[in-house]
Amino acid sequence: MSDTPARDRAAALLKPAIESGETLHGFVVERTESIPELDADAYVLRHVGSRARLLYLACEDENKAFAIGFKTPPTDSTGVFHILEHSVLCGSAKFPVKEPFVDLIKSSMQTFLNAMTYPDKTVYPVATTNEQDLLNLMDVYLDAVLNPAIYTKPTIFQQEGWHLELDEPAEGGGATSADVATAHVNGVVYNEMKGALSDPTSVLDDAVNEALFPDTAYSCESGGDPKHIPELTYQHFLDTHARHYNLANSYITLYGDLDADRVLGFLDERYLCDEVRARDAEARRAAAPDAAELDRAVAAGPNPLPWQRPVVCEYARREMPTTPENALVGLAYVLGGRGALDRKRVIGADILFEALLGSNEAPVKKAILSAGLGGNVLSYTEASVQQPYEMIVLQGAHENVARELRRLVEDECLRLVGEGIPRNRLEAVISSNEFDLRQRDYGTADGVVIACDALSTWLYDDDAATLALGYGPVYAELRRELDGSYFEDLLREIVLESDHFALVDLVPVEAADTGEAGTSVEVADAAQVEANVAALRAAQEAEDTPEARATLPRLHVADIGPARPEPALTVDTTAPFTCLKHDIPTRGLAYAVWYFDLAHVSFAELPYVSVLAGLMQQLATERRSAAELDSYITANLGFLSFSATVFPQPDWRLARPKLQVAAGALSEKLDRLVDIPREVWAETLFDDEARVRDVLAQQKIGLEQAFLNAGHQAALSRAMSYVSPAAVVSQQLGGVDYYRFLRDMLEHFDERWDDLAARLRDLQARIFTSSGLTVSFTGTDEDYARFWQLGGDFGLAPRTAPAKELMVPWPESKSEAFVIPSDVCFAARATDPRVLGVPANGTWSVASQVLSYDYLWNEVRVKGGAYGCGFRAQADRQLAFYTYRDPAIDPSQERIARAGEWLADFDPDQDAFEGFIVSCTAGFDAPLKPYALMKRQDGEFFARRPAGWREELRSQVLAATPKGLRALAPEVTRVAAEAPLCVFGGRSVIEASQLDLNVVDLLG
């Protein structure tokens, strides 16, 4: 029997069509090729009638995927394509419900369901392990993008894009007359982008693209600039959809083990054939407010995406109201050549700049840090645009250093071109990339990532559908180029001889200095604004009719099947140390994790443990310089990480912190997997004062970025620390408390250096011992035996230093608001259910779905304008509410307070409730990549989960009932009332709250 049945079936169906030239369900199969890097066969098809492009990647992956994308280059910064991305998922001709996107989350087995707006394209991908579910998801998504309800429901545009709401009269000011009334803008995308553009990195990125590509779509903010979003009219919104969301402008990808005959037939019969296209076009004309205008828009066709002629921006200054620590400088070089289609050049540049800037020991980054121009340097190759470019970002930039940065970069590049780029660095990056490519761990469904990768070339050339997917020959050629001057020539062309680059200085200023107007505007007709809001509220509060809900395709519990079997975890007590052995297929890779016990470390020492972990790999060892070690690790390991973590325990009053050392390598480099971590933990030298200061500054900047971009995660972690000892420990190791520790340490670094170095040496000796060590390994049986043969006791001896006791301070119940430079807020109420005496079981998982997507989505996101919100129920360890990029604190908290009351009246029909069961169960069954599964099983072991606990939770989900959920209502009310609140947000948002919050200026 073949071990590639999916590929064999696809070949039997599609290859004859290539040879005969006949159509298959209206498609011509233009060509096929094998892509060994993906273990897939690619088929490029074109639908004759609609001109839709299609790429099918036949492979054995059961996690099937579909994506449809459109070329959508903007002409302004109103965010029209971003607003369309949101809006088309708010109902369609075939599925006339308010939120089909949310309904799919609530009722399908999806492993991925989202939509993304890029600078020049919009993509709608889905993934699932169930083929009928894939067809259901395709049906809803295709009708959404081609036949959306936006033409008959202007309230969708107002909700997702923008609308005006009257300001409350000032207290004691009396009624406001209509001619002087003021209003503010609200809307989901508007608020999302207020949050996104509170991040200085996003603002810098926009400024750099504006400088590099002034004559193209890339000069616009595709997500929308809040200053310009209110310029978008409803008519232009509709015209833009009509011009771009058509099949001739579409790119469809299918991926995985699926019945291609069935899926292609479905596409043709339901959406692509002449009869259906004509019917749908006539329906859109009938629905449009102005059919003649719609016809003109369709005839105009999509926006062009021209090639940008070379331009030079010697210096540009962009001011932004933010804290001084957020000063940035961006230096970008367009790669040239044939742009995205020049794969050797793009991949070669990515390797080149990773070798020069990818670590603290990379020569160009090291030169910048040594010059003291700022706190950290990041670089990346932006390869998903028509003209890729290399971006160098100086974080925490000192004043007036932009030109010095460019001079230093180009001087160092000139030196490297003359002396030669160290081959060990280039070869190390190539080896590391090859590990990543073999591992294929994208953090989400493979088919979704691959579909987006394909568009990085396909969008610019119809003949380049697979150009970005088959990387093997390019890497082989680049390895051969190591023997010549290719990389030096490339560096000279891109940097030293560049005629297309930009240097941008992002300068923090006080808010008043920017000259930007406030968020309120005067309105001449207050009554009309009130009427518009009333109409919007009526639409938001209207229930979907039973007839509308019945149109949605659904799976049933009977479609779920048994629990997915998992490779068992074996606890091997015969090895030199207790070992968690995972029998998981890894495609020729091996993974190891060493868990060092921290129970003997005092609470006050915990921040120093995180400093220790962060410095590992960054400093010299007894046998290698820091630069040599950096190249050696990159060349031989796929990854190596040191981090401190806390495992919650059955007794919620206990915490179990560990310092974990994780590494991955090709099986043939198993000896390096053993030797390198041992060298780093045992032989690292803590005597490079300047480098230690750099690393601490980089950690500080990283935490600041996390507070700005993922404030809800920071708020959840902090809120848990008000009730949970384990979370108190987590704060010391990586949260607000650790951030404060870093700030203080950096402010007094010179005077504390000797003490810091001594503490680090002491902790190194006390932590990296055999006492309390547990090891985890994933790989073949042969690799496992060889791992222990090579490793032995890893040079570890029992701890001899006196142990200290980890005495964790009891949590202090409070509510805090941390001021960050932002126009929105992130808020979380969180607690451990065991603190409240709330029994937790699988029913809470269903309650989480119900509250998140039935209640909070409509109340907090749709009505309140927050970009995100939800309720978390993490087994018996956490119950929490959160909001994300929320325009205001109090309205959302008031709605959260009513969640239990809403749940008490929850009475869904059988189909709707069965959908919740299906989607919750799918979460338990979603496939995981080997390393992710290994880490999850390790976590369950250290958390002392009983055998079969996941299966028990899954069974409880399947047994859940509406009555059981209603019984949780009083506990939900308790969580909303008693769980402490933590907020990260802008000062004006926090000051507008009437809640009793302890306000803290976090970033200085």
pLDDT tens, residue by residue, 313-345:
999 999 999 989 999 999 999 999 999 999 999
Which pLDDT does position 110 carry in this prediction? 96
Q: Has residue 367 got a pLDDT over 90?
A: yes
Q: 286 with 382, same domain?
A: no
Say if CB 794 and CB 595 are below 8 A apart: no
- Model confidence at 179, in pLDDT bands (50, 70, 90)? low
Q: 490 with 539, same domain?
A: no
Domain that holds residue 649: 586-791
CA distance 501 to 216: 15
CA distance 288 to 150: 9
Say if CB 98 and CB 544 are below 8 A apart: yes
Give the residue carrying structure tokens 């190249």.
Answer: 631
Handedness of CA 865, 222, 705, 655 (dihedral sign): positive
For residue 24, being part of any structural domain is answered with yes
For residue 940, being part of any structural domain is answered with yes
CA distance 265 to 263: 5
557-579 per-position pLDDT tens digit? 998 888 888 898 999 999 999 99
Q: 632 with 690, same domain?
A: yes
- Angstrom CA distances, 711 to 120, 707, 708, stand at 28, 5, 6
For residue 214, being part of any structural domain is answered with no
Between strands 816-819 and 998-1001, the pairing is: parallel
For residue 207, being part of any structural domain is answered with no
Q: 632 with 716, same domain?
A: yes
Question: Please, which residues bridge with residue 981 across strands?
Answer: 829
CA distance 81 to 72: 7
Handedness of CA 627, 629, 632, 635 (dihedral sign): negative
Would you list the DSSP string of 26-41? TEEEEEEEEEGGGTEE
For residue 694, being part of any structural domain is answered with yes
Boundary residue ending a domain (464, 490, 511): 511
Please report how the helices 736-747 and 725-734 are oriented relative to each other, as an axis angle in degrees rounded to 10: 30
Which pLDDT does position 3 carry in this prediction? 80
For residue 259, being part of any structural domain is answered with yes
Please name the amino acid found at residue 835. V
CA distance 6 to 2: 10
Q: Has residue 1003 got a pLDDT over 90?
A: no
Which pLDDT does position 1004 carry in this prediction? 66
Boundary residue ending a domain (740, 757, 791): 791
Q: 756 with 863, same domain?
A: no
Q: 424 with 357, same domain?
A: yes
For residue 569, being part of any structural domain is answered with no
**Average pLDDT estimate for 646-655:** 92
586-638 per-position pLDDT tens digit? 989 999 999 999 999 999 999 999 999 999 999 999 999 999 999 999 999 99
942-958 per-position pLDDT tens digit? 999 998 899 999 999 99
Name 365's Cβ contacts closer than 8 Å, sequence gap at least 6: 356, 357, 358, 359, 377, 379
Give all strands (DSSP E) within 789-892, no chain letters: 816-819, 825-831, 868-874, 878-886
- Model confidence at 876, in pLDDT bands (50, 70, 90)? confident
CA distance 212 to 327: 20
Look at 40-54, 144-158, 291-305, 966-980 and tell me which has the smallest mean pLDDT. 291-305
Give the residue carrying structure tokens 């055999």.
Answer: 770
Please name the amino acid found at residue 963. K
Alpha-helical runs (H) found in 98-160 = 100-107, 131-146, 154-160
- Model confidence at 512, in pLDDT bands (50, 70, 90)? low
Which pLDDT does position 322 carry in this prediction? 92
Name 242's Cβ contacts closer than 8 Å, sequence gap at least 6: 284, 288, 294, 297, 298
Boundary residue ending a domain (726, 757, 791): 791
Q: Find the CATH number of the domain harbouring 679.
A: 3.30.830.10
Collapsing DSSP to helix, strand or coil, 47 comes out as strand
- Tally the domains of the chain: 4
Total residue count of the chain as it appears in this document:
1004
Sheet containing 501-509: give its strands across.
312-321, 501-509, 328-334, 389-395, 376-382
Name 168's Cβ contacts closer than 8 Å, sequence gap at least 6: none
Name 798's Cβ contacts closer than 8 Å, sequence gap at least 6: 769, 770, 771
Rounded to 5°, the CA angle 886-890-894 comes to: 110
**Average pLDDT estimate for 111-134:** 98
- Angstrom CA distances, 896 to 565, 718, 871, 994, stand at 38, 19, 9, 16
Q: 888 with 988, same domain?
A: yes
Would you list the DSSP string of 526-563? HHHHHHHHHHHHHHHHPPPPHHHHHTS----GGGT-SP
Q: Has residue 175 got a pLDDT over 50?
A: no
Q: 428 with 451, same domain?
A: yes
Between strands 589-597 and 250-256, the pairing is: unpaired
CA distance 859 to 871: 13
Give the residue carrying structure tokens 């607690």.
Answer: 831
Give all strands (DSSP E) within 354-454, no chain letters: 376-382, 389-395
Give the residue carrying structure tokens 């003997």.
Answer: 600
Q: 542 with 600, same domain?
A: no
Query: If we measure between CA atoms, which residue out of 27, 589, 76 comes closest to residue 265?
Result: 27
CA neighbours within 13 Å on the CB side: how many for 277?
15
Q: Has residue 532 got a pLDDT over 50?
A: yes
Q: 687 with 707, same domain?
A: yes
368-391 per-position pLDDT tens digit? 999 999 999 999 999 999 999 999
For residue 200, count other CB atoms closer than 10 A to its CB.
24
Say if CB 466 and CB 343 are below 8 A apart: no
CA distance 819 to 128: 40
Say if CB 134 and CB 258 are below 8 A apart: yes
Q: 317 with 279, same domain?
A: no
54-71 per-position pLDDT tens digit? 999 999 999 999 999 999
For residue 347, being part of any structural domain is answered with yes
Q: 354 with 446, same domain?
A: yes
Between strands 569-572 and 639-648, the pairing is: unpaired
Q: Has residue 516 got a pLDDT over 60?
A: no
Between strands 501-509 and 312-321, the pairing is: parallel
